[in-house]
């Protein structure tokens, strides 16, 4: 969960993007049919002023998610909720998430978590920190400041890029897990001459979710939006089901979408086939769970919209996936976090999911099946399936 707080650099970027779109002919209008488009012709601009599904990320605000990311894990308890457990028992719930992220990022992001296993006493009661859904940036920052100050005597924060704050399991008032991102131009939190710009406070929901919570919350610091629905009505996971950890942390197949991986820099431009102009491409896809090969075919349909097709397999980070095949989804980078910027297309909308599976968990298209959006001039044909992926034909008319 990430508080929805726009930041000035992102807003300026959005204004620039809008001006650029108004002044530049769309990429799909300039090519002749049959000519393969450059990958960046399908890179949608961010248009919400905060975390979104746009390709580019403002790394003056968010953390660049490549290489070694050094994280200080500190443990806190409270006057009204003193710890009775060992810090190690709590960290064991979290630290396996580093291996999950390493695998899901093809080894390109490595979370190096240093555990400082002692309880630091917070100055206020757990109930005084105002943890509730809708937690403001300022309220979370005040809690983080107290935690860092309490741990500062024995932690050199100048050595780390991020901070994980782990409250005792007895602090039931710290009910959920939010991510903190420093707002440029503000005082923020300072310790040992360094301003921790990114942090996660792990709440009671860490005992509901598994270690993939690390993959979800850390990715907010990397610039990814929430893909589940914020509204109280209907199915919270109706947009993407269990196909991405940013939608459903405990999803059956929660590897990041190829679109997200491309945004994060884990999937290279050379692994993307773009169809932005009229024409068609036949693409041999390698499933996103594997590191090599072509990861997705993108059909751009407008200034902020595209369809994506990728292959999914029940292996590695997705070992528990309920179905395999070609997964189709629509991206709209103008849609804000929590309102469905990515929406999976269900190949089996009338089918009853298998036991233990949710709606959309059986969404992939199998060989011989096709998806069509006539209004957008889009057709995706799944021509064949092989051990590590699918061969598809994408058409834009």
pLDDT of residue 1: 72
* Structural domains for the chain: 14-57+236-396 (no CATH), 67-221 (3.40.390)
Rounded Cα distance between 343 and 45, Å, is: 17
Q: Which two tokens stand for residue 180?
A: 């903190």
CA dist 56 → 45, 173, 265 (Å): 7, 37, 10
Residue 324 is predicted with a pLDDT of 97
Looking at residue 192, its pLDDT comes to 95
How far apart are the C-alpha atoms of 196 and 141, rounded to whole Å?
Answer: 11
* Residue 331 DSSP one-character state: E
Q: What is the pTM of this model?
A: 0.91
Distance CA 204, CA 218 (A): 17
Three-class DSSP category at 286: strand
- Which residues on neighbouring strands pair with residue 201, listed in sequence order? 165
Name the DSSP class of 102.
Answer: H
Assigned token pair, 32: 């002749």
- Distance CA(278)–CA(301), nearest Å, equals 10
Identify the segments of the chain with pLDDT beneath 70. 2-34
At 217, which helix (H) or strand (E)?
helix 213-221
Q: Which residues contact 126 (CB under 8 A, 6 or more apart)?
A: 78, 80, 81, 167, 171, 172, 173, 174
* pLDDT of res. 5: 56
């Amino acid at each position: 969960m990430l508080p929805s707080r726009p930041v000035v650099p992102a807003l300026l970027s959005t204004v620039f993007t809008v001006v650029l779109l108004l002044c530049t002919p769309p990429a799909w209008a300039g090519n002749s049919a049959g000519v393969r488009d450059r990958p960046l012709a399908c890179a949608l601009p961010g248009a919400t002023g905060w975390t979104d599904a746009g390709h580019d990320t403002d790394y003056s605000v968010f953390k660049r998610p490549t290489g070694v990311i050094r994280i200080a894990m500190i443990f806190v308890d409270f006057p009204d909720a003193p710890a009775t457990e060992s810090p190690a028992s709590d960290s064991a719930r979290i630290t396996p998430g580093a291996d999950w992220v390493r695998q899901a990022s093809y080894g390109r992001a490595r979370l190096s978590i240093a555990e400082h296993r002692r309880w630091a006493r917070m100055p206020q009661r757990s109930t005084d920190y105002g943890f509730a859904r809708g937690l403001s940036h300022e309220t979370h920052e005040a809690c983080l400041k107290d935690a860092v100050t309490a741990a500062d005597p024995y932690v050199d924060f100048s050595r780390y890029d991020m901070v994980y704050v782990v409250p005792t399991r007895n602090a039931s008032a710290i009910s959920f897990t939010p991510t903190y991102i420093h707002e440029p131009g503000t005082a923020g939190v300072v310790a040992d001459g360094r301003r921790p710009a990114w942090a996660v406070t792990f709440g009671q929901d860490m005992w509901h979710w598994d270690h993939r919570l690390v993959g979800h919350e850390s990715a907010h610091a990397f610039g990814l939006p929430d893909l589940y629905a914020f509204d109280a009505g209907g199915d919270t996971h109706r947009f993407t089901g269990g196909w991405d950890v940013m939608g459903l942390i405990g999803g059956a197949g929660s590897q990041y979408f190829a679109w997200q991986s491309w945004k994060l820099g884990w999937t290279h431009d050379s692994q993307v086939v773009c169809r932005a102009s009229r024409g068609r491409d036949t693409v041999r896809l390698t499933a996103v769970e594997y590191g090599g090969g072509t990861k997705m075919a993108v059909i751009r349909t407008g200034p902020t919209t595209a369809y994506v097709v990728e292959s999914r397999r029940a292996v590695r980070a997705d070992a528990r996936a309920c179905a395999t095949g070609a997964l189709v989804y629509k991206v709209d980078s103008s849609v804000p976090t929590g309102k469905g910027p990515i929406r999976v297309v269900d190949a089996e909308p009338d089918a009853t999911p298998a036991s233990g599976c949710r709606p959309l968990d059986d969404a992939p298209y199998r060989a011989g099946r096709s998806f069509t959006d006539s209004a957008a001039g889009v057709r995706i044909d799944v021509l064949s399936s092989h051990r590590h992926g699918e061969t598809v034909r994408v058409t834009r008319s």
